[in-house]
Chains A and B, each alone.
Chain A
Amino acid sequence: MTEDTDLLALERDILERIDTAENEAALEDARIASLGKKGVVSERLKGLGKMTPEERQVAGPALNGLKARITEKIEARRSILKEKALTERLKSETIDVTLPARPEQRGTIHPTTQVWQEVIAIFADMGFSVAEGPHIENDWYNFGALNIPPEHPARQEMDTFYLKPKEDGSRMVLRTHTSPVQIRTMENETPPIRIIAPGRTFRSDSDRTHTPMFHQIEGLVIDETTHMGHLKGTLEAFCKAFFEVDDVKMRFRPSHFPFTEPSMEVDIGCHWEGGELKIGEGDDWLEILGSGMVHPNVIRAGGLDPEKYQGFAFGMGLDRIAMLKYGIPDLRAFFEADLRWLRHYGFASLDMPSVAEGLS
């Protein structure tokens, strides 16, 4: 056997051992057996020193070449084994992805809150600020200042909640409408005034469409030139934006409220389609709000001169327009906090109404 054939056999044996190493430990054994301190290749390399320069010139490159090939082979094998081991590990780590994820509680926003913000977004775009007032009012703000005389039917107990009499016999009322905010705003601001006043209101009433507590939104514009045409234009713009329709059929009917003159009630066209209410067109009418030009007596009660200032006011039910827009059948359910209802009709916390991004 020549030196050459010996080396070839050696190489073949080593490479075969590397190739057949089944895991990283076996591979490491093969490396140590060949290239380790006492490995066969290392031993032969040590033998180079004892050779003649001629012999060394032949054997040196042969042995170094062998070493390089073995090293390369080991690395290649190592990466294959690593990949194989990883594949096997991953296989063992399989999880049933069809299992339900960890449960999270999905919160919701109440439809009244949602619509409250929708209405603010729309009117803010038309330049209206938001004003507020107390729920427990005195007689003057809730009635007297709004041109409702003491004998008016609206002041009778059938409609109004009163608190127990004070020592002087007077009784505070739970505001029956958001209109007292008109007076409070006129008292504190100088025209031009453009506000809406959303909030809780109270009337002693209870059936499918009436609850002893509900939400109203008041609107008030006071300046020197605003007239009924502006009132109609504003309400039409609101209805289109709120109900998200390009056109809305509206009907303005003369009516009566003590605090406006002239007064009008506003209906929107609607029809039923497959059990669903469609807003904006159709042959039926739905009353949605009361409105009018602010009565001179009310402007005076707010501390302003009705010869100089005029404007309009309107009021509508926030919960009611929520019912119409979102197809919610029963007003009473708004205040029952039934979780099934809250989850069904509620809105996601990130669904912020915006004129730019969309309202619903």
Chain B
Amino acid sequence: MKFTLSWLNSFLDTDASAEEIADKLTMIGLELESLTNPADALKPFVIAKVLEAKQHPNADRLRVCQVDPGTGEAIQVVCGAPNARSGMIGVFAPVGSYVPGTGIELKAGNLRGEASNGMLVSERELMLSDDHEGIIDLPDDAPVGTPYATWAGLDDPVIDIGVTPNRPDALGVYGIARDLAAAGMGTLKPLDATPVEGAFKSPIGVELRFADGDTSPCPHFVGRYIRGIKNGPSPAWMQKRLRAIGLRPISALVDVTNYMTIAYGRPLHVFDAAKVKGTIHARLAKPGETIEALDGRTYTLDGTMTVIADDSGPEGLAGVMGGEASGVSETTTDVFLESAYFDPIRTASTGRKLNLLSDARYRFERGIDPAFTEPGAEIATRLILEMCGGEASEIVIAGEAPLRNANARLRMNRVTTLAGVEIAPRAQVDILESLGFAVAGTDEEIVASIPSWRPDVNGEADLVEEIVRIHGLEKIAHVMLPRTEAVTKPKLSVQQRRRFKAARALASRGFNEAVTWSFLPSDQARLFGGGEDLLALDNPISTELSDMRPSLLAGLIAAVSRNADRGTETQALCEVGQVYPGDRPEDERLHASGIRLGVTGPRSALQAPRDVDLFDAKADVLAALELLGAPVDKVQVQAEGPSWYHPGRVGTVTLGPKNKLATFGELHPHVLEAFDVSGPLVGFEIDIDAIPVPKSQRAARAALKISGYQTVRRDFAFVIEDSVPAEKLVRAAKGAEKSLITQVNVFDVFRGAAIGEGYKSIAIEVTLTPEDRTLTEAEIEAVSSRVVQAVEKATGGQLRR
């Protein structure tokens, strides 16, 4: 919302500077976006007298001028303007000045043999208008030597504020002035909206034509016929204001409607009465009806949109834009003025459906003052009569203002108890009254009648806000919340801590933690078991971000692919975040995933890097699970897993028969191809939410048992069928003598002719730790044979002799 200081001052009697006003606006909730003064860019340009203009000796179209910029000396300027002449008053740009319209800094020059030290400028060169017919030609009494901007009234700061959607009243300069006056920045000048006496009956009537009498789309319609006008340019003061905020003056009638919109937040429309057929009425559009709007485009309407129509059809899109057919022109002599109230929601929906933005829509959809329909028409009538002459008819009205007439109760201690600041009841009432509330009540409690222009105010909290906003939030003292515990108790649950533990466990293993999008392309979603319609965005920002991710791996693989393109060969990326197997809240799972690409590290003189393999991923999984508090001694690894892994190089870590804690493995060649990555690429996914939470968190550990007796190690090798998993063998060996066997370690796997096709040899080291004695050779032998028996029985293999 832009306006100038002088515009504001036409409603607000104040001595405050632009800066003071700008600061105050921010502090009462009308946030300053910018404060600029167009005169700043025009400072170097002064009013100057052309002492003499004579023909350039070497160029037909140039003149050599002697210019006095008020210093008494004559400066020679070569000028090409046709209107340059001796004795005229113009605007001089000295050498060194920056001419905004040309983007050039002036230098002393020589034009066809004549020195030129500056320039006489046109309006376009100062970016004041498009006029470039000639140089600026000022009246004879214009004061030579004065900065042009000051004389022309351009020294008028432009204030731009951001208006929150709850404050349609601040979308007019008058409403802003009211807020500033309430905040002590001056006095609000009274509005003159006294009715203009009608000289005749309007030949055009107005009607609300809605089915079943439901006039909610347009409950109030006010019109007036004005005849015998002349639609020339609007006066300079109005053009100046409009131009200062970026609106192009068009004609008096159009400018009046724009002026009313900005000055009072009251959009209006003016029809060329000669082009109107029959009664002007508001109705819902007929589906498929079309209208050519003032922007020159044709819109096709549906039955939810309100139009202003006459006998020939729609003449305007209610609250959004007028129609081209009945628009005013320079030859218009009779007009019909429309001031109506349109339903905000319907206006918003119409504008959105037609993708049509306008200053009118912006205001109607936020809610304009429903009580201002008639006053707005009166003020506009007066402006038209002043500027265009003519005479006005009596006003014609259909429907009535949809006034809320709402009240809100305020207990006078609520400012203290809710906002934390003491304000005397009288001062509270003063603020409300200065904002237009009518107040009745006592020092304990009041009832405030809410002004028609404040649709945002409903209850007590709103009144408290109005009072503290104007009083000043800076006057609320800072208070600390009372401490509830002498020493803060832990605030994170076990699950909440796991998010961070997982990230840090993986980072400590060399992973760089990443955060990738929650959405991905649908083909990638499908590759990782997702991509159902249920989890696709209805309005994705791009096809690259269209589906909710079923796995963290896709985002990570896409990232390593990008990094690899930049030449990074060794990568370990991880992420901890939500995946979305379904759309219910309970479907979301917290996962920790990582991928390793390429080799274990850079080349080194000390050790050769090797390709990463699934055991790197397995180690990552088990290390992370342990840190996350999973009972890793109880987990099992199944040789199976999801389809995005290599089918023969994938494992699932389970706890009990059903609870899948994690998967790991080498990524499937299809995945590598889809992401354009060259392997080796291994990865894992840990389902953090699947890790059981211990029932009670005991700080104390179980007592440490240390055996003082000799630990014994024995090696065994078994030949078993290739398909038997090693874990089966290890479990069998461990279970052979639970009281003595503390560790079983696989240290060799061998396949070859000596073993036979379809078989492998697995060598294990079994550690025996007796607690109460040194084992005898006979005891060790006995345990050894139990190990052999157990393994042979479980695996169908044989001890390798």
Binding site for B on A (CB under 8 A): 99-110, 112-113, 116-117, 120, 123-130, 132-137, 151-153, 156-157, 161-166, 171-172, 174, 192, 194, 200, 202, 204, 206, 212-213, 221, 225-230, 232-234, 236-237, 251-256, 261-265, 293, 295-296, 310, 334-340, 342-343, 346, 348-350, 352
Contacts and interface: CB of A to CB of B under 8 A. Distances in A.
Contacts of A136: 548, 580, 583-585, 587-588
B782 interface: no
Given A343-B512, A346-B513, A135 B588 contact: yes
Contacts of A120: 491-492
A229 B478 contact: yes
Contacts of A350: 504, 508
A130 B491 contact: yes
Nearest to B609: A103
A39 B725 CA distance: 68
A163 B535 contact: yes
Given A109-B504, A230-B480, A334-B515, A103 B510 contact: no
Given A130-B492, A230-B479, A107 B508 contact: yes
B504 to A, nearest CB: 5
Nearest to B164: A256
A99 B536 CA distance: 54
Contacts of B477: 229, 232
Contact of B604 (A102, A153, A192): A102
Contacts of B541: 161, 204, 206, 212
Given A99-B605, A109-B507, A125-B488, A337 B461 contact: no
Nearest to A261: B461
Given A113-B500, A127-B488, A136-B585, 15 more contacts: A101-B606, A105-B510, A105-B601, A130-B496, A152-B165, A162-B538, A192-B484, A206-B541, A233-B481, A252-B474, A293-B418, A336-B562, A337-B515, A339-B512, A349-B508
Given A230-B479, A237-B480, A352-B504, A337 B563 contact: yes
Nearest to A121: B491
Interface in B489-533: 490-493, 496, 500, 503-519, 533
B280 to A, nearest CB: 28
A342 B576 CA distance: 15
A234 B539 contact: no
B515 A112 contact: yes
Given A107-B509, A296-B461, A338-B563, A127 B485 contact: yes
B641 interface: no
Interface stretch (B123-131, B382-390, B464-472, B753-761): B464-472
A172 B509 CA distance: 38
A340 B566 CA distance: 10
B6 to A, nearest CB: 26
A88 B709 CA distance: 41
Interface stretch (B26-34, B99-107, B303-311, B394-402): B26-34
A225 B583 contact: no
Interface stretch (B36-44, B318-326, B330-338, B567-575): B567-575
A171 B164 contact: no
Contacts of A264: 473
A263 B465 contact: yes
B516 A335 contact: yes
Interface in B441-480: 456, 459-462, 464-465, 468-469, 473-474, 476-480
Contacts of A254: 27-29, 465, 468-469, 473
> Lowest 8 CB-CB distances: which A-B pairs, in order?
A229-B420, A105-B510, A254-B29, A262-B465, A337-B559, A107-B507, A256-B164, A349-B507
A103 B604 contact: yes
A228 B423 CA distance: 14
A153 B556 contact: no
Given A212-B517, A337-B563, A255 B31 contact: yes
B578 interface: yes
Contacts of A135: 518, 578, 580, 588
A128 B348 CA distance: 41
Contacts of A213: 517-519
Interface string B534-558: 1111111100010010000001100
Given A130-B491, A230-B420, A233-B481, A253 B538 contact: no
A255 B29 contact: yes
A258 to B, nearest CB: 8
B257 to A, nearest CB: 25
Contact of A127 (B352, B481, B519, B568): B481
B510 A163 contact: no
Nearest to A171: B538
Interface string B82-108: 000000000000000000000000000
- Among B349, B491, B493, the most chain A Cβ lie within 10 Å of the Cβ of B491
A156 B352 CA distance: 9
Contact of A161 (B165, B352, B537, B607): B537
B21 interface: no
Nearest to A173: B538
Interface in B643-662: none
A256 B485 CA distance: 34
A128 B491 contact: yes
Contacts of A162: 537-539
A262 B469 contact: yes
10 contacts: A108-B513, A113-B576, A127-B481, A135-B578, A164-B538, A172-B583, A232-B479, A233-B478, A253-B27, A349-B505
Contact of B418 (A227, A263, A336): A227
A124 B503 CA distance: 20
A339 B492 CA distance: 30
A136 B28 CA distance: 36
A129 B344 CA distance: 41
B81 interface: no
A289 to B, nearest CB: 14
Contacts of B164: 255-256
B235 to A, nearest CB: 37
Contacts of A255: 29, 31, 164
Contacts of B583: 136, 163, 172
A349 B476 contact: no
B166 interface: yes
Interface in B557-615: 559, 562-563, 566, 568, 570-573, 576-578, 580, 583-585, 587-588, 601-602, 604-607, 609
B351 to A, nearest CB: 11
A310 B479 CA distance: 16
B419 interface: yes
B367 to A, nearest CB: 11
B681 to A, nearest CB: 15
B580 A256 contact: no
B483 interface: yes
A24 to B, nearest CB: 34
A342 B481 contact: no
Contact of A335 (B473, B517, B573, B587): B517
Nearest to A152: B165
A342 B513 contact: yes
A165 B536 CA distance: 10
B167 interface: yes
A221 B500 contact: no
Contacts of A342: 512-514, 573
A101 to B, nearest CB: 7
Nearest to A136: B583
Contact of A100 (B555, B577, B604): B604
B421 interface: yes
B601 A204 contact: no
Contact of B491 (A129, A230, A293, A349): A129
Given A234-B481, A253-B29, A163 B538 contact: yes
A336 B559 contact: yes
Contacts of B352: 156
B417 interface: yes
B553 to A, nearest CB: 13
Given A163-B534, A221-B481, A230-B420, A110 B515 contact: yes
